Amino acid sequence: MRKKLLLVFLHCFLLLSLCAQQPLVQKLKIPVKNNRIFAGPSVPLGQFSSTHYPGITISYMRMPSRPVAEQGARGRKTGFASGGSLSHFWGKKEKAGSRDFRYPGYTVLELQGGLTWTPLNRGILFLAMGPGLGYYEGRFRFIAGAGIQGSYPLSPIINISPALSLIKEKGSDALWIASLKAGLRF
């Protein structure tokens, strides 16, 4: 009786160990590239363009979910993303009477969070808003920023990204900024 019981236990352990083995063909894991860094020229629009030259913007975006463009039909069409950007615009020189006047440069640091949407197989739209810090005339001021940014991959790691941003400070008009940036995915 003991021998039969021992054989049944050994047989069960053998079956359990066979079931726990890894398959002969392992699935390949595709590396996920959630991070994007962009840089490019930014052009002030409206009244802001009469006082400042075009500037430069450097931005970072993190998308934790994998969009359709990276996963095919199994990917998600919408998701969340976060990011930040640093922009600087040089002030223009103006003649005021008999003197020359130069507008000071304007620097903006923003943190944003928002939604991503993948309307095409490869393109992504990022709609975001968040707080920021503006530096003008030697003073820091809190700002509110919002924007829409597109991202279209030219290759597996290179993207092109047009964007339209709105910056609002207390006591001033809203500033509109258009930019076209090139980026890397990693």
pLDDT of res. 74:
54
In this prediction the pTM is: 0.76
Higher pLDDT, 23 or 120: 120
The enclosing H or E element of 15 equals helix 2-19
Domains (ranges, CATH) in the chain?
2-185 (2.40.160.20)
Structure token digits, residue 27: 């699935």
Q: What angle do CA 70, 72, 74 make, to 5 degrees?
A: 105
pLDDT of res. 19:
56
Contact in structure between 83 and 116 (CB atoms under 8 Å): no
Q: What is the pLDDT of residues 105-156, one digit of tens each?
A: 999 999 999 998 888 777 889 999 999 999 999 999 999 999 999 989 898 8
Q: What is the pLDDT of residues 157-169, one digit of tens each?
A: 899 999 999 999 9
Q: What is the pLDDT of residues 81-109, one digit of tens each?
A: 999 999 999 999 998 888 888 999 999 99
* pLDDT, mean of residues 2-8: 73
Burial grade of 54 (CB within 10 A; 0-12, 13-18, 19 or more): middle
